Structure 1
Amino acid sequence: MASREVYSGSERKLLLAFDVGTTYSGISYSILDPGKEPEIQGVHKFPGQEIAGGTAKLPSIIYYDKNGKVRAVGAEAEGDNVEVTADEENWHKVEWFKLHLRPKSSDLEASAGHLKPLPLGKTVVEVLSDFLKYLKTCAEQYIQEVHPGIGSDVWDGREIHYILSHPNGWEGPQRALMRQAAEKAGLVSSTGRNQLTFITEGEASLNRCIEKGLMTGSVRTGEGISIVDAGGGTLDISAYACMPDGKKFEEIAEAQCHFKGSIFVTEAAEEHLKTFLKGSKFHNDIPSMKQYFDKTTKCSFRASEPNDPHYIRFGSARDKDVKYKITAGKLRLEGATVASFFEPSIKCIVDGVLAQRAIAHKPISNVFLVGGFAASDYLFSKVKEQLEPRGLHVFRPDTQINKVVADGAISGILDKPVGTRVSRYSSGVICSTLFLPFLPEHVKRRNTCFGALNGQLVIPGYFEIILGRNVQVLETQEFRSTIISRGRNLDDVRNATMEVICYRGKLGKEKQEWVDNDQRNYHEVCTIEANLSNIPIPMHFGPSGPYYEVEIEVVLLFGLTELKAQIAWTENGVEKRGPAEIIYDTDI
């Protein structure tokens, strides 16, 4: 990538990105010094690692003792001595905790059947907080060790800007819970100077590919690219194209998120073993078989040898049973059987990319497969085999960047490569609309009408669309929705509330306008609240007496990585702005 502009701030600052993955996590950072060009660096050494020189990722694992105290985290939780102690003292192992944040209203919920409940009454905020606290400690130790003097200074009251990545399917409630966890871990506070922002894993992956100069000439000239971030838990599929200036990128289709990551290949293998070994003396060996499959068989499986058998080591040389294909402590799995475990993930990627191409605002010609699961030669070869005959070029960047998200999160702050994002669903408000007797849809709902305080006849259950589905939105683009607040008492109208609703169904725009056409597919996004005490609120007179009425506009920014809101009103011909609070229902 071309050199960056030097940091123009007046004092040193630290950017710190945590990529909390389902199975592995990573940390990247950049020390910003005034007048110097920022550089993205990664944490490559964690406590408990046996690999000389370290590695850029650590296991997303926590052990709690029976009293709920953290006893081991990350690589330290995988040591033999820890496993023995954990067994003897009844510690609780927590993994895949990230998936407990998943949106319950989506198809992700239906795919999460294998997810174990968190132990000891722990909430996902508490577990994530403990893990973030550990990541912060690891980052602090590493930065101080690698950057003598400077490394200590950045932790001594300097501003730290944290960036947390999350799957494409995580929304406002999930980010709100992540923010709670970050506050509980001491990363940020409501009164402190530290910042916290979020980025999707799909966008972070794009940023990293750009930063490493991996974009082909055709992409630079405007052809679309599909980024498939294949991780441990989720498959995140995103589509982008280079904008005419040759620098910025625009999202060109709705982002996707699927529960079809690498852990589900292992889960499929476990289900097969449970069925195959049912009633045998080897049934209790399934956990060790599963572990061997996950660490070895799954990683070494290749398309060039799909019919070759694979062997799972689990016992001693004396273990033998021809009926169960076990010889010398090794269970034989046919290649076709192993391939079947991968099939749902492969199909998900192929179908997802093709569906995205069908609705994209620009033609897509290239596919980049990144993430830890992308290291699977079998996955890559089968995706390539199925997509290339359909005119798509499939690439897998250097395996050295298979933990791309943390670096891409830092790049998102430094370089801001993405200037346009795409809405994933229609957003709007459910309100009452003026009854018009010449409109058939109004006449159909005549029996639901009621009289407003101003005497007008209105129909409830109208969905006023603020932003449609699959629409490209600039970061600075504003959307507005009018709130008219009426009440008999002045106090009744001093606090304005608006529920932002999304429609996730398949009806066209006109049918979406009436909630009773598809009621179950309307879901609350958030509630926006604003105090109107500083706004003049006049009295009016209606058929049933005096009332107060005020009209304001809620100004929404959908094009950022998080939804932002303000209120606007006109006073003496001049528009004024005020703050608005966004509240998410985090009871997930």
Structure 2
Amino acid sequence: MLKRKEYAGLTRQLVLAFDIGTTYSGISYCILQPGEVPQPHGVMKYPGQGQIGDFKLPSIMYYDSQGNLKKVGYEALKDEVAEQAMTEGWVKLEWWKLHLRPKHLSSAHIKDDDIPPLPKGKSVVHVLKDFIEYLFRCAETYIQESYPRYVWLSIKDEIQFIFTHPNGWEGAQQQQIRRAIELAGLVPSTPEGRARVRFLTEGEAGLHFCITDLFTSGVPDQAKYPQGQGVVVIDAGGGTLDLSMYSMKFNPTSFEEVAPAECRLQGSVFVTRRAKELLQSRFSFHRLPRMLTSSKQTGKLRGSRYSSPEMIDDITTTFDQTTKLHICDAEQPAYIKVGSLRENDSDHDIRAGKLRLSGQEVTKLFDDSTSAVINAFEQQRSYATVPITMAFLIGGFGASDWLWSQLESYFKSQGIELCRPSRVCVPVLSGNVERVSLVGYSHKAVPDGALSYLVDNLVKSRVARATYGTSFADLVDVDNHEHVSRKETWYMSAIGLLVVPKAFKGIIRKGARANEQKEFRCPLSCPGTVKSEFGIMQLPILCYRGNSSDPQWVDRDEGSFSTLCNVRFDLREAANSLVPKRKLGGQVGFYYILCVDVIISFGSTEFSAQVAWKVNGVETKSPAVIIYDEN
């Protein structure tokens, strides 16, 4: 049984967890009271919501032509707002989170032009800042209305924040999110302010939610889930499909990551996008996706009065809010409401105001997403050292009956049990349309799980998602055929050593496992002719995402290398103890050489760095700063 401890702090503290999603976002909070067991809660009230109790709001925003934020969330869905936006030329933002996506993620099916553009003069960081400000105001209002005034006054100044992000988001995206948080005024841009913000992958947050949901009700069947068995968490969201794989232990309950986390850009918005392509009449046959091959399927509404872009958008929205989640049988037709009961058009399969689509048509819309989950799982399983016996499906897209049925069938064939924790998907009324809330199953799994991470911290080790290292000039070895083959690149270093450039020094290998204390060291020999040369230095850290398990040269498989970040450190203190040495190779003069270790740690949810050196056998460490390349 997962038993939470009482909060050991001396003062009351508020923790806010933000889940900013491609289609929906939410906030959970926990007021830590000294001596009490922490209990997470969800923010359940947002402006324009209409019905209290929904834990999430749409990630939709309107800006005017001057770049001023006008409407957000439920207020942006109102009919009168849509009319005002059209009249006044407002810009509607949907899926804007995908502008943050790392370029290394496989995304041949999506380009920047496919995502609604940002308002003129606005970067994705500034849009994110506006959205964070709005969410924080919602949380502030909700908490103030739920508790006596003195409670808010006692917790408002030192709030701890957790921000979740897809598994594929890395340091560069965390850096952008952190900048947006500081611009929004949630924390100051100081070391103390930065320490109040933590990041967590959606996969790990989902694990904490699932385990809390499953195990707090009683002692799990340890005969069914013995020590060391594996579990995979599939967070099927609006933009991404995130898979995280762990081994589990009991007494006490803990988890270790056993494979690199996976992330695929095949969330529910891409099913909706493919549905729109099916409906659109303006696309010629040869430009439609290969999946839409028959003339009956192509341009479903071409030539009808429903083929205008505005009508296509409306019908696509109806598909997204109703039809998509109910699809469960490829042999049964699906229907999309397109008008009143008097609407009939037999030429376009419209009867009683509903467009009829064959089951084969609509289920094919899910194929790429289903395949993405299965392929990601298979890739993870190739790294795992434990058998996988359980899979959890969470996230709004996890409410899809068809996605569930396809994944359940696959996992059953693998001897793996698939489950969806906390079914809360219930019909709600929105205007004249009955819809199923896209919040879906485990409607607040990620922000609640983020709070559980802070309180329970069940994951004890994590796995490197790629190989990380740096480029350097290696000492020439005439017996090394690789060095000899690169003879034309040899050169004499400043201290008289013959070296060959563009060698790769691995620091962390893909699949390496680390806890929060484990250090990965990169020894450096820094030459200089005078001590004053040893000041602020930077070490570029490269990321290798290719297929080689041991890359040796940065100009081989060059496209698989990219700059992850620069580690910046100060060597002035370390240089104080240096003594001069005579130059080598017949060169005249003296030089200094400073030997240091750059230390990288990734066992926590963010990379961290230090620099270390020894004087008379005693090691000294100094903090280093990581600056990510956001391009």
* TM-score bracket, shorter-length normalisation: over 0.9
- Which residue does 1:520 correspond to in 2? 559
Change (3 A) 1:566 1:109: farther
Within-5 A mapping of 1:66-77: 66-77=65-76
- Displacement of 1:413 in angstroms is 1.1
- Which residue does 1:140 correspond to in 2? 140
Q: Deviations for 1:255-306, whole angstroms, at most 9, x for unmatched residues?
A: 1100111111111110011133334432112111101101111021123xx2
- Which of 540-549 and 262-271 deviates more? 540-549
- Displacement of 1:487 in angstroms is 2.6
- Which residue does 2:621 correspond to in 1? 577
- Displacement of 1:245 in angstroms is 5.5
- Which residue does 1:33 correspond to in 2? 33
- Displacement of 1:233 in angstroms is 0.7
2:326 aligned residue (297, 300, 303): 300
Change (3 A) 1:43 1:216: farther
- Equivalent-residue separation in structure 2 for 1:532 and 1:219 (angstroms): 51
- Which of 2-11 and 63-72 deviates more? 2-11
2:591 aligned residue (544, 547, 561): 547
Q: Secondary structure at the match of 1:586?
A: coil
- Equivalent-residue separation in structure 2 for 1:80 and 1:364 (angstroms): 48
- Which residue does 1:462 correspond to in 2? 503
Within-5 A mapping of 1:58-457: 58-108=57-107, 111-112=110-111, 114-157=114-157, 159-191=158-190, 193=193, 195-214=196-215, 217=222, 218-219=224-225, 221-243=227-249, 246-274=252-280, 275-284=299-308, 285-303=311-329, 306-317=330-341, 319-400=343-424, 401-457=442-498
User: Number of aligned pairs?
Assistant: 581
Amino acid at match of 1:184: L
Q: Secondary structure at the match of 1:406?
A: helix
2:522 aligned residue (462, 468, 481): 481
- Equivalent-residue separation in structure 2 for 1:361 and 1:121 (angstroms): 49
- Equivalent-residue separation in structure 1 for 2:390 and 2:214 (angstroms): 15
Amino acid at match of 2:328: R
Q: Is the 8 A contact 1:453 1:544 kept in 2?
A: no
Amino acid at match of 1:273: L
- 1:19 matched to 2:28? The reply is no
- Displacement of 1:454 in angstroms is 2.7
- Displacement of 1:317 in angstroms is 4.6
Q: Is the 8 A contact 1:219 1:225 kept in 2?
A: no
Q: Is the 8 A contact 2:58 2:74 kept in 1?
A: yes
Q: Is the 8 A contact 2:93 2:117 kept in 1?
A: no
- Which of 21-30 and 325-334 deviates more? 325-334
Q: Is the 8 A contact 1:483 1:498 kept in 2?
A: no
Amino acid at match of 1:41: H
Q: Is the 8 A contact 1:567 1:580 kept in 2?
A: yes
Q: Secondary structure at the match of 2:11?
A: coil
- Equivalent-residue separation in structure 2 for 1:544 and 1:340 (angstroms): 74
- Equivalent-residue separation in structure 1 for 2:110 and 2:262 (angstroms): 15
- Which of 239-248 and 523-532 deviates more? 239-248
Q: Is the 8 A contact 1:12 1:154 kept in 2?
A: yes
Change (3 A) 1:380 1:211: same
Amino acid at match of 2:392: F
Runs of 5+ unmatched residues, structure 2: 281-298, 425-441
- Equivalent-residue separation in structure 1 for 2:627 and 2:359 (angstroms): 51
Change (3 A) 1:318 1:33: closer
Q: Is the 8 A contact 1:162 1:195 kept in 2?
A: yes
Change (3 A) 1:364 1:130: same
Q: Is the 8 A contact 2:16 2:160 kept in 1?
A: yes
- Equivalent-residue separation in structure 2 for 1:396 and 1:13 (angstroms): 32
- Equivalent-residue separation in structure 2 for 1:484 and 1:315 (angstroms): 73
Q: Secondary structure at the match of 2:16?
A: strand
Amino acid at match of 2:70: R
- Equivalent-residue separation in structure 2 for 1:227 and 1:351 (angstroms): 14
- Displacement of 1:367 in angstroms is 1.1
- Which residue does 1:531 correspond to in 2? 570
Q: Is the 8 A contact 1:220 1:246 kept in 2?
A: no
Amino acid at match of 2:371: K
Q: Secondary structure at the match of 1:213?
A: helix
Q: Is the 8 A contact 2:536 2:568 kept in 1?
A: yes
Q: Secondary structure at the match of 2:214?
A: coil
- Equivalent-residue separation in structure 1 for 2:48 and 2:301 (angstroms): 35
Change (3 A) 1:12 1:150: same
Amino acid at match of 1:355: Q
- Displacement of 1:242 in angstroms is 1.2
- Which residue does 2:427 correspond to in 1? none
- Displacement of 1:140 in angstroms is 0.7
Q: Is the 8 A contact 2:105 2:264 kept in 1?
A: no
- Which of 497-506 and 66-75 deviates more? 66-75
1:499 aligned residue (540, 543, 565): 540
- Displacement of 1:355 in angstroms is 2.4
- Which of 395-404 and 522-531 deviates more? 395-404
- Equivalent-residue separation in structure 2 for 1:98 and 1:455 (angstroms): 51
Q: Secondary structure at the match of 1:269?
A: helix
- Displacement of 1:168 in angstroms is 0.3
Q: Is the 8 A contact 1:269 1:338 kept in 2?
A: yes
Change (3 A) 1:168 1:112: farther
- Displacement of 1:57 in angstroms is 0.7
- Equivalent-residue separation in structure 1 for 2:531 and 2:466 (angstroms): 36
- Equivalent-residue separation in structure 1 for 2:178 and 2:476 (angstroms): 43
- Displacement of 1:84 in angstroms is 2.2
- Displacement of 1:50 in angstroms is 1.3
- Equivalent-residue separation in structure 1 for 2:472 and 2:237 (angstroms): 41
- Which of 84-93 and 459-468 deviates more? 84-93
- Equivalent-residue separation in structure 2 for 1:135 and 1:449 (angstroms): 57
Q: Is the 8 A contact 1:30 1:40 kept in 2?
A: yes
Change (3 A) 1:109 1:584: farther
- Equivalent-residue separation in structure 1 for 2:549 and 2:2 (angstroms): 44
Amino acid at match of 1:366: M
Q: Secondary structure at the match of 1:265?
A: helix
- Equivalent-residue separation in structure 2 for 1:109 and 1:152 (angstroms): 47
- Equivalent-residue separation in structure 1 for 2:278 and 2:394 (angstroms): 28
TM-score (norm 1): 0.95
Q: Is the 8 A contact 2:2 2:253 kept in 1?
A: no
Amino acid at match of 2:245: A
- Equivalent-residue separation in structure 2 for 1:469 and 1:445 (angstroms): 27
Amino acid at match of 1:269: A
- Which of 450-459 and 180-189 deviates more? 450-459
Q: Secondary structure at the match of 1:460?
A: strand
TM-score (norm 2): 0.89
Q: Secondary structure at the match of 1:399?
A: coil
RMSD value over aligned CA atoms? 1.8
Q: Is the 8 A contact 1:311 1:332 kept in 2?
A: yes
Q: Secondary structure at the match of 1:121?
A: coil
- Equivalent-residue separation in structure 2 for 1:135 and 1:154 (angstroms): 20
- Which residue does 2:437 correspond to in 1? none
- Displacement of 1:175 in angstroms is 0.4
- Equivalent-residue separation in structure 2 for 1:154 and 1:55 (angstroms): 28
- Equivalent-residue separation in structure 1 for 2:569 and 2:376 (angstroms): 40
- Which residue does 2:6 correspond to in 1? 6
Q: Is the 8 A contact 2:472 2:501 kept in 1?
A: yes
